[in-house]
Structures are given as structure tokens and as C-alpha cells.
Amino acid sequence: MKKQLEVFVIFIIICLANCMSISALTITNENEKIPAYLDTITVDDEGDGDFLNLQSAIEESDPGTTINVYSGNYEETSTIQINIADLTIVGINYELGAGGDSGPPIIIGNSNGDVINISSDNISISGLGITNSGFDFINLDAAIHIHSNNNHIDGNYLAGSYYAISIHDGNDNEISNNIIELNQMDGIFMYNSDNNSISLNTIINNGFQGIYLYDCEDNFLYKNILKLNDKNGIHFFDLCTGNIVYQNTIESNSVNGIKLTTNNIGNVIIDNVIKSNGWSGIQIQFSNSNLITKNEIDSNMYDGILAGELADSDGNMITGNNISYNSEQGIRFGISSNDNIVYHNNFIHNSALDYGSNTWDNDYPAGGNYWTFHSGDDDDNDGIIDTPYDIPGGENQDRYPFVQSLIPPEKPRRPSGLIVGETGKEYSYTSSTTDINGDQIQYGWDWDGDLRVDFWSDFYESGETCTATHSWNEKGTYLIYVIAMDIRGIESDWSEPLPISIPRIKNSPLSSFEKFSELFPNLFQLIQRVIYL
């Protein structure tokens, strides 16, 4: 009987608290229309939906509305303005009525200004074809022009505009799974925009860069295909800091695969395929302290990496790359390049040229690089050739060149552990991998998904499971990665990520109790006495 009473009382408290939440929301909005969060409206160009065009549907929407746009060609007379937050716009590959339309709906601009301009936050656009923007360079005319935050542009076809997507003063946006081709300027142009994710897009045959970033910080460029663009695959221009370029395919662009020009500091270029570009795989000019690691830099028409030919490029780290079959040098440092560090790279049928003052190894026993064109004795069997490799161009040497090409440990298993947690609590995670040489392995853990090691473990035997613990102090969603490093400091690829959510729990029983006790303290005390009789 007591147990039944407890359950009943708790149920009543929760119901009352939730009712109070609903009541408070109603009172707060008593002079406004309550948002229709579940509303869905339809657009069909032949009149079989709620509206004939997208702009009319937007103007009649509330925050939270979903707008389904059905097959058809939608010729716009002016820029579509999205200035209502929290809208979801979905292209439906289906004829709504009795007409003969098929395929994804196509939004056709009138060659003047943007096709779609997004000035409000939390907009989702998917499944549309968008074309025919204006051609104004000053205003960055685009198929989609974003100057707001937390928007999602996913699964669209963007062709035949000036820019496909321009992001100006926009943060925390996600641009993914789009096909972006045959635009006159850049596929994606970003200015003064931070913490955006650009992933899984195919960006090909555009008139300038595939992706252009100007004064942008902490953006994540992941698994995009950037091919056959008329300038560079990716261009960082001026004041770009902390951006990560990870696992992209950057191929056959007319100039460079990746170019960094003017004051770009602390960017990470990791685990990309950069090949067959018309000039260099990576060109660095007046950009310092960037990390270039674990890339395949292959068969570019000039150098694999070119740095400091025109302006200072100092303090960059180039490690763990396979640099092969580039037509000129594997790496070329101009006279303005100094204090760069180069080690643990495989130079396959490539040499280097260094007119500056740079370091080509990581001391002994970590060693330097492997060079196809250098051989010699290894009398002490430490895997390092006894005679240094002289770098052409100056007096620099790789003092500890390797006998054989460097093979890193296998990529570690995706971390295992809890994926939902609470702030301030410590959780354990495990991973393991093997080393082809049987060397001991040290594990580097990245707790916040920026592909930078936050904690190095002790050394483990090859194949032994590593356990590490961590706690998070702020609520949010994080990605956990792990990397392996052998006793020479040769690093594996990063593991696949494990997401963990440290949630903000809303309307939980606990929060309901707290609301109830604050509003009705005397009644709450009485109920407590009943429960604990």
C-alpha cells in the first residue's frame, strides 16, 4: 500500500509540474500566436499545395514550420528572403497533384542577387536544386547566402550560380552532402565565419576555388571531394586560424590542392589525399605554425609542398606524410622559410630543396625521414642509416634518415565506453591496436573532437588494451578520438570517433520536483511526510 501511495504521489507531482510548465508557456505567449511546432505546409507550382511558391510559404510560416516543396520548376522574381527562425524546407521528389513534374524541385533565380538569402537562425534546407543567382562580386551573389547561425544545408544540388554558397558573418552552420558544380566563382566562400562544418560535399568544376576561407577560425572541412576547380581546391586567405582539413580528396585542381596565403596560423591539414593538382599539392606563403600530417601528397605537377618562395613561412610542422612522384620536389623551402620541422615522412621518388634554415629530423632515436634516393649502412641495426642525407639547396641535413619506409601502427579501434554522461563525472574509455614491428604503443586521446591530443597514455604492448578516463565540465556533445604512436614517435591515423552527449536534461522528474517544491513549499513538505511515513 505504501509503495502504491508513493508512486501515485510522484505521478501527481510530475503531472502538476508539467502542467505548470505548459501554463507558464501559455501565459508568456498570451499576446502572441503559439508557435505551431508541428505545422507542415506544402508548395506546388501547379497549385495542388498550400502555396504556389516558396516565398509565399515562408511569409505565412511560424517558427518550427516544415515547408515541403514538391517537384517542379519554381522561377523566382526576386531573392527568397528567409527571416523567420527555425524553419525546415524540404524538397520532395514527387508530383503532388495531377501534373507531370518529376525530379527534385528546382528553385530558379532571376539572375539578380541571391537566389536564397538566410538572415535568421536554425534554418534547414535539403533536397532542392538551386540555380541562377546574380553575378555581383561585391555582394557575393550566391545560390544560398548565409549571414546567420546554426543553419543546416544538406543534400542539395547547387549549380549555375556565381557562388554556390557564401557565408558572411555566419557561425556554427553545417554544410553537408551537397553537389556543388559549374558555378562561376567559388563553390563555397566564407568570410569572418567560425565553427562551421563543411563535410561530405562534392565540389567540382567551379570557376575559382573549391572552398575559399577569409578571416575564418575553427572550421571543420571533412571528407569533401574537391576536383577540377579552376584555381585551388581549398584556399585560406588572411587571418585563418585553427581550421581543420581532414580526410578530403583534393585532386586535379588547376592550381594548388591547398593554398595558405597571408597570416594563417595554427591550421591542421591531416589525412587528406592531395594529388595531380596543376601546381603544388600544398603551397604556403606568409603563414606560420601550421601542422601538415598524415597526408598522401602524390603526383602533383610541380612540388608536393612549396613554402616561403615569396614570403616568410616559418615554424610549420610537416610530419607523417607520404610524399611521392611529384614532378619537381617533394618539399621546396624558399629563402624566406625558416624554423620549419620535417620528420617521419616517406619521400618516394622525390627529393627536397631547402634554401632556408629548417630542421629535417626529430633527433635521435626518433629519427628523420625515409628517402628513396638515399641508402647506406646501418652498422648498429637501429633502422637509421649511418650517414646523413644532405638536403640540396643549402647546408641542411636529415641527420637520421631511415633504412626503410615508415609504417605507422594500425589505426586504433573506435573508443568504447558510455555515450551519455553528466558533467563532473569521470568515465572510462578503451581502445587498442597493433604495430607491424611489434613496438610498444602510446595512445593519444582527444576528448573534444578537435583532432589534437589532450592526454597521452603510458606505453602498452602491441595489441594490449589501453584504458583512459575523462570528465567534462560543460554540457554539450563531444567526439572522442584516439591515436597510436610507436616508440619512435610515428603516429597512426586517428580512430573513428565515439560521440558522447553531456545533455541538458529538460522536464525530467528531478527538474519537475524542483519546480514544484519552489512554487508550493508547504504542500511539498506535506507530501514528503506522506511518502516517508
Task: Please report which confidence band the pLDDT of residue 43 belongs to, taking 50, 70 and 90 as the band edges.
Answer: very high
Neighbours of 77 (CB within 10 A): 9
Q: How far apart are CA 24 and CA 471, in angstroms?
A: 35
Residue 424 has pLDDT above 60, yes or no: yes
- Find all residues with CB under 8 Å of 41, minimum gap 6, and list them: 49, 50, 51, 57, 60, 61, 65, 66, 67, 68
Q: How far apart are CA 366 and CA 443, in angstroms?
A: 17
3-state secondary structure of 530: helix
Nearest to 340 by CA among 289, 306, 397, 296: 289
Q: How far apart are CA 380 and CA 215, in angstroms?
A: 51
Give the per-residue pLDDT at 530. 37
Q: What is the mean pLDDT of residues 81-107?
A: 95
Q: How far apart are CA 466 and CA 339, in angstroms?
A: 35
Determine what percent of the chain is predicted with pLDDT higher than 70. 87
The better pLDDT of the pair 476, 513 is held by 476
Q: How far apart are CA 386 and CA 362, in angstroms?
A: 16
Beta bridge partners of 152: 124, 174
Nearest to 40 by CA among 61, 59, 66: 66
Mean of pLDDT over the chain: 89
Q: Could you report the per-residue pLDDT of 235-258, keeping only the tens digit for each?
A: 999 999 999 999 999 999 999 999
Q: Could you report the per-residue pLDDT of 366-419, keeping only the tens digit for each?
A: 999 999 999 999 999 999 999 999 999 999 999 999 999 999 999 999 999 999
Q: Could you report the per-residue pLDDT of 444-473, keeping only the tens digit for each?
A: 999 999 999 999 999 999 999 999 999 999
- 167, 186 Cβ separation under 8 angstroms: no
Burial class of residue 2, CB neighbours in 10 A (0-12, 13-18, 19+): exposed
Beta bridge partners of 351: none
Task: Please report which confidence band the pLDDT of residue 266 belongs to, taking 50, 70 and 90 as the band edges.
Answer: very high
Task: Please report which confidence band the pLDDT of residue 40 belongs to, taking 50, 70 and 90 as the band edges.
Answer: very high
Fold agreement (41-206, 427-502):
no
Neighbours of 510 (CB within 10 A): 9
Q: Could you report the per-residue pLDDT of 172-208, keeping only the tens digit for each?
A: 999 999 999 999 999 999 999 999 999 999 999 999 9
- Find all residues with CB under 8 Å of 61, minimum gap 6, and list them: 39, 41, 67, 84, 87
Nearest to 105 by CA among 69, 63, 158: 69
Beta bridge partners of 234: 211, 258
Q: Could you report the per-residue pLDDT of 173-183, keeping only the tens digit for each?
A: 999 999 999 99
For 311, the grid coordinates are 614570403
Q: Where are the domains of the chain?
A: 1-34+504-533, 41-206, 208-406, 427-502
Q: Could you report the per-residue pLDDT of 477-494, keeping only the tens digit for each?
A: 999 999 999 998 999 999
Q: What is the mean pLDDT of residues 507-528?
A: 43
Q: How far apart are CA 196 and CA 455, in angstroms?
A: 26
Nearest to 242 by CA among 256, 221, 257, 223: 221
Residue 36 has pLDDT above 50, yes or no: no
Q: Which CATH number fits the domain 41-206, given the four candidates 3.40.50.720, 1.10.1060.10, 2.160.20.10, 3.90.226.10?
A: 2.160.20.10
Task: Please report which confidence band the pLDDT of residue 437 belongs to, taking 50, 70 and 90 as the band edges.
Answer: confident
Q: Could you report the per-residue pLDDT of 283-339, keeping only the tens digit for each?
A: 999 999 999 999 999 999 999 999 987 778 999 999 999 999 999 999 999 998 999
Residue 525 has pLDDT above 80, yes or no: no
- 320, 270 Cβ separation under 8 angstroms: no
For 294, the grid coordinates are 598524415
- 372, 349 Cβ separation under 8 angstroms: yes
Determine what percent of the chain is predicted with pLDDT higher than 90. 84
Q: How far apart are CA 300 and CA 311, in angstroms?
A: 22
Q: Could you report the per-residue pLDDT of 209-245, keeping only the tens digit for each?
A: 999 999 999 999 999 999 999 999 999 999 999 999 9
What CATH number labels 427-502? 2.60.40
Neighbours of 488 (CB within 10 A): 21
Give the per-residue pLDDT at 259. 98
Beta bridge partners of 225: 202, 249
3-state secondary structure of 126: strand
Nearest to 308 by CA among 282, 326, 328: 282
Task: Please report which confidence band the pLDDT of residue 531 belongs to, taking 50, 70 and 90 as the band edges.
Answer: very low
Q: Could you report the per-residue pLDDT of 494-512, keeping only the tens digit for each?
A: 999 999 999 854 444 444 4
Cis peptide before 365 (omega within 30 of 0): yes
Residue 515 has pLDDT above 50, yes or no: no
Q: How far apart are CA 29 and CA 130, in angstroms?
A: 37
Neighbours of 487 (CB within 10 A): 14
Measured at the CA of 352, the angle between CA 350 and CA 358, to 5 degrees, comes to 145
Q: How far apart are CA 151 and CA 174, in angstroms?
A: 6
Tell me which H or E stretch contains 176: strand 174-176
Give the per-residue pLDDT at 504. 55
DSSP-derived letter for residue 343 is E
Provide the terminal-to-terminal Cα distance of the chain, rounded to the nearest Å.
Answer: 12
